[in-house]
Structure formats: structure tokens, C-alpha cells
Amino acid sequence: MKALRIGDFDILPGTQRKIELPVAKLYTDANVSLPVHIIRAKKDGPTIFISAAVHGDELNGIEIIRRLINKPNFKVIRGTVIAVPMVNVYGVVNQSRYMPDRRDLNRCFPGSPKGSLAARVAHIFLTQIVQHCDYGIDLHTGAIHRSNLPQIRGDMNDEETKLLAQVFAVPVILHSNLLDGSLRESAVKNKTKVLLYEAGEALRFDDFSINAGIKGIENVLRHLKMMPQKRSKKKLKEPYIANSSGWLRANASGVVNHLVKLGDQVTKGDTLAEIGSPYGEVLGIVTASRSGILIGKQNIPLVQEGEAMFHIAYFKEDDESIAEHIENVQESLIPEDQYSDPNMLRDL
């Protein structure tokens, strides 16, 4: 194995190193850098990046990486793990989804060394991190005031990506086409297989989503033989893959009474929420237009007409069996010391 060169740093096999990749300066002349933690085994193997906070207000992924690399039993026995807990450092500092130039970093790839600030960050991340990697796991959350059920998105037409998604083992897998300018699109052009993990809400830590993300990453690393195998390995249940999804929007403006929670099975015609006036009058009722599983929802109890409220995943299989499967997966992702609360699953 040769030394891995990232920026001006050479990382040798069998070593760990934390580096700072220079990006640009603030108005104050203070330097801003990308924090990168590289863990290399002595034995050759795949290289995988784990990234978070491409959107600066999506904090769950930062905590997933922080807890993962500090676990006492986290050991890489083959290949290389490149962890980047904050890709959009500017957004994290300002608690904002966007870059200072108001661009969405996840629409600026592959970027340019002489373009906008967002384009430069995208270029650095792609050329210094992604180009070295065979695989990648990009960690995201829902937008502000919106929560996502833990889910993996990726190109399920690619058999290896599909297998990795199944191995990750979260409640829902959603087939997702590549978006122009996204990290995933540029990574695929680099022949890097990428999973996108969505869970929780922006600007909030959610322990269930964090634990599910850590366990999923470890599942993938073990599958790639980059971590030691568990002594008792349970056979994973075949997950359900949603080939499409859609948002239901508010048909009135007002105060919301949500009647469903993440992971619920919904049937065409079911009432998902009531929208009322400040005086208690019912102004609108949001109903399911198709049967499916609720994988994302708005949290704030106020809504404007036309605003997206519920994200529903649609499956070809029987929804009832899928809902049961999702509940079982959720239960398996809860740490054992939390089983003492019988209401926990119901409240997810």
C-alpha cells in the first residue's frame, strides 16, 4: 500500500491522522478549513468516505461521525475510512443550510477551482476526498421543521448500490435518481458507489436517527470486510424498496392537528391532518391520495396553503406487511438500555 495523499498531507498505511484542508478565508482574514479524519489499516482494501453537513444545518451526521470514530470498539482492519464531519463549515458556523453566497452546495458539484465559493468547496471535496474512494456514505437530515424516517436513498438499478443499501438496514430504501449538480452525481461519475442517509430534522440531534446511522455504517464496513465481523450475525430481513414517493400539500392556511406519525401506513382516503382557524373552525382536511408509508413530515403546527406537509413512499407490495417490517426494524435499532420505556416505539 502506498501513502494516501490528501492536500499536502501523506497518510501512511496503519496510521490515523486528522488534517485540515484549506478552503478560503473569512472576511476577518481567519482561515476556514475542511476537517478530515483518516483511518488507514495496514491491510489493503476499499476506501470509503463518510461525509456530513453538506447542508450546514443538518447536524445529525456530524454526531454520527463523532460517536463512530470515538467508539472503543471501532477498528478498521482493512482499507481506508475518510471521515469528513463538516463539508459545509460555513453553514455549520451560521446554522444555515446554504453557503455564504446563498448557494446549495449539493447543487454545485463538480465545482471549479476558480468559481464561486460553493463551487470551490465542491471542487476541493471532490478532488481531494471523493476521487480516492470506492464507496461513500453521505449523511443528511430533513429540512428545518421537517423530520425524516431513517431511510437510504440511492440508485437501486445498480446492483452493488442496492446490496449496500440493504446491508445498511434502515426502515426504508428509496430509489432516487441522480440530481444535476449533486455530490452523488459527481461521485458516480468517479465510479464511487454512494448511499445517501436521510434521518431526523435540521438543527436537532435525534438519538434514534444517530444510532441507526452508526449501526448502518458499521453494517456496511463489515460487509466490505473493513471491520471485524460480529460473533453472532443475525440474518438481515429483505428490506422493501420504494420506487417512488410524493409530497402532500396543505389545502388551506392555519393551525395544524397532525393525526399520523413517521412510519405509519396510510391508505388512500385516510385523514392525515386537519387545518383549522385560530377560532377552531376546520378550514381544510389533508387526505392521502395514494396508499403508502409516511417517511417525512412537517413538524411545526402552522401551515400556509400549498406548503409540503407529508412525504409518502409508495410500494408495489402490501402496505400492511411493509408497516410491520418497518416497526420491526425500528425496534431492532433501539439500544437495549432504552427498551425500559414501553412508549418509545409508539412515539417514534
Say whether both 266 and 312 belong to one domain. Answer: yes
Domain assignment of residue 238, yes or no: no
Task: Quote the pLDDT of residue 342.
Answer: 39
Per-residue CA distances from 218 to 1, 90, 274 (Å): 23, 29, 41
Domain assignment of residue 105, yes or no: yes
Higher pLDDT among residues 25 and 245, named by residue:
245
Q: What is the pLDDT of residues 297-336, one digit of tens each?
A: 999 999 999 999 999 999 876 556 666 667 776 676 666 5
Please provide the average confidence, as pLDDT, over all residues in the chain. Answer: 91
Q: What is the pLDDT of residues 197-240, one digit of tens each?
A: 999 999 999 999 999 999 999 999 999 999 999 876 566 566 67
Say whether both 215 and 275 belong to one domain. Answer: no
Domain assignment of residue 255, yes or no: yes
pLDDT at 10 over 70: yes
Say whether both 329 and 218 belong to one domain. Answer: no
CATH number, domain at 302? 2.40.50.100
Range in 84-98, 119-133, 216-230, 328-342 with the lowest mean pLDDT:
328-342
CA 212 distance to own-chain centroid: 11
| % of the chain residues with pLDDT over 90 | 81
User: How is residue 39 written as a grid cell?
Assistant: 483511518
Task: Quote the pLDDT of residue 345.
Answer: 39
Task: Quote the pLDDT of residue 171.
Answer: 85
Helices (H) and strands (E) in the chain, counts: 8, 19
Q: How far apart are CA 232 and CA 189, in angstroms?
A: 37
Task: Quote the pLDDT of residue 280.
Answer: 92
Task: Quote the pLDDT of residue 25.
Answer: 79
| % of the chain residues with pLDDT over 70 | 89
Q: What is the pLDDT of residues 259-304, one digit of tens each?
A: 999 989 999 999 999 999 999 999 999 999 999 999 999 999 999 9
Rg (CA), the chain: 21
| Cell 446491508 -> residue | 167
Higher pLDDT among residues 343 and 186, named by residue:
186
Say whether both 28 and 135 belong to one domain. Answer: yes
Domain assignment of residue 115, yes or no: yes
Say whether both 67 and 101 belong to one domain. Answer: yes
Q: What is the pLDDT of residues 147-171, one digit of tens each?
A: 999 999 999 999 999 999 999 999 8
What is the domain range of residue 252? 244-347
Task: Quote the pLDDT of residue 86.
Answer: 97
**Residue 73: exposure state from Cβ atoms within 10 A (0-12, 13-18, ≥19):** exposed
Domain assignment of residue 81, yes or no: yes
In total, how many domains does the chain have? Answer: 2
Domain assignment of residue 135, yes or no: yes
Residue ending a domain, among 192, 223, 254, is 223
Task: Quote the pLDDT of residue 348.
Answer: 43
Say whether both 313 and 202 belong to one domain. Answer: no
Domain assignment of residue 234, yes or no: no
Say whether both 270 and 134 belong to one domain. Answer: no
Say whether both 34 and 125 belong to one domain. Answer: yes
Say whether both 205 and 280 belong to one domain. Answer: no
- Hey, is 85 helix, strand or coil? coil
Domain assignment of residue 229, yes or no: no
**The overall pTM is greater than 0.85:** yes
pLDDT at 182 over 80: yes
Asked if residue 313 lies in contact with residue 241, where contact means CB atoms within 8 angstroms, the answer is no
CATH number, domain at 131? 3.40.630.10
